[in-house]
């Protein structure tokens, strides 16, 4: 190889390295809604950590739908958005629901001075029930039986409680959906028993305890 060819090869290698470095930097600096850093999110519950994925992407256009359990691989923020869409007012309005969540995150930050993504993760962990009841039939008699809740279902239930609390707090109420969501997230993150999500979790575990 001539000296000029060697120089060109070295230049190409350096250029490729620069591109890879820029891509890595862009990925590292990617922010949710262009504002919130998700790279330093902490988890307090190891049982649900695997099922609470945090990414800077809030809309994957349903790419997770091809497999039954792949939903846990998309961002917990998008899962919250999708859950909030399961109402009469927001069905099919993804951009509208994303705006509600974005506004709520800003309110959460103003109220707690914390990263709202971290508040969401803590709220999901706190609102996830550990026990629930199933119905077993013995000779035509239905008997409740307490069972442990699988980690993935715990996250699903927590998101359901948060979404239901948001809808209940804003339906026929002067409070906006973003304000209602903020109240539920902050209350659940602080483990406030007056919060709808925590109240539902406590009720589920109380009924399960009585059925042991």
pLDDT, tens digit (0-9, with 9 covering 90-100), for 64-90: 655 666 778 889 999 999 899 887 777
> Is residue 6 in some structural domain?
no
Judge whether 158 and 171 are in contact, CB under 8 Å. Answer: no
Whether 4 is in a domain gets the answer no
The answer to whether position 103 is within a domain reads: yes
SS3 at position 148: strand
Check: CB of residue 207 under 8 Å from CB of residue 142: no
Residue at 157 is within a domain = yes
> How many structural domains compose the chain?
1
Query: Within a domain: residue 95?
Result: yes
Taking only the tens place, the pLDDT of each residue in 17-65 is 443 444 444 444 678 898 899 988 999 999 999 999 998 888 877 666 5
Give the whole-angstrom CA distance, residue 67 versus residue 127: 26
- Whole-angstrom Cα distance, residue 203 to residue 206? 5
Percentage above 90 pLDDT, the chain: 52
Between 64 and 162, the higher pLDDT residue: 162
Q: Range of 102's domain?
A: 31-210
Domain presence at residue 88:
yes
Cα–Cα–Cα angle for 133, 194, 101, rounded to 5 degrees: 90
pLDDT tens by residue, 93-139: 888 899 999 999 999 999 999 999 999 999 999 999 999 998 888 88
pTM: 0.80
d(CA 164, CA 61): 23
Question: Which region holds residue 75: left if phi is over 0, alpha if psi is between -120 and 50, else beta?
Answer: beta
Tell me whether residue 117 is in a domain: yes
What is the average pLDDT score of the chain?
83
Could you give the CA distance from residue 142 to residue 151 in angstroms, rounded to a whole number? 26
Query: What's the pLDDT tens digit per position in 107-117?
Result: 999 999 999 99
Token pair recorded at residue 103: 């506004």
What's the CATH code of the domain at 66? Answer: 1.10.455.10
Instruction: Enter the tokens of residue 205.
Output: 């575990």
32, 112 contact by CB (below 8 A)? no
Q: Is the residue at 128 inside a domain?
A: yes
Identify the pLDDT of residue 102: 95
């Amino acid at each position: 190889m001539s000296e000029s060819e060697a120089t060109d090869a070295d230049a190409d290698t350096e250029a490729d390295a620069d591109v890879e470095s820029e891509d890595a930097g862009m990925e590292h600096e990617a922010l949710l809604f262009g504002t919130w850093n998700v790279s330093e999110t902490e988890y307090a519950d190891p049982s649900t950590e695997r099922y609470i994925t945090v990414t800077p992407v809030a809309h994957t256009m349903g790419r997770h739908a091809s497999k039954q359990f792949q939903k846990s691989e998309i961002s917990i923020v998008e899962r919250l958005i999708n859950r909030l869409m399961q109402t009469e007012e927001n069905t099919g309005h993804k951009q509208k629901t994303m705006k509600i969540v974005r506004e709520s995150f800003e309110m959460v930050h103003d109220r707690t001075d914390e990263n709202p993504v971290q508040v969401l993760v803590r709220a999901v962990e706190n609102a996830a029930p550990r026990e629930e009841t199933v119905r077993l039939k013995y000779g035509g008699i239905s008997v409740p039986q307490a069972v442990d809740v699988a980690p993935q279902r715990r996250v699903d239930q927590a998101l359901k409680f948060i979404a239901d609390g948001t809808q209940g707090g804003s339906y026929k109420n002067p409070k906006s959906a973003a304000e209602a969501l903020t109240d539920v997230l902050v209350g659940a993150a602080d483990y406030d028993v007056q919060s709808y999500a925590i109240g539902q979790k406590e009720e589920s575990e109380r009924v399960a305890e009585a059925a042991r």
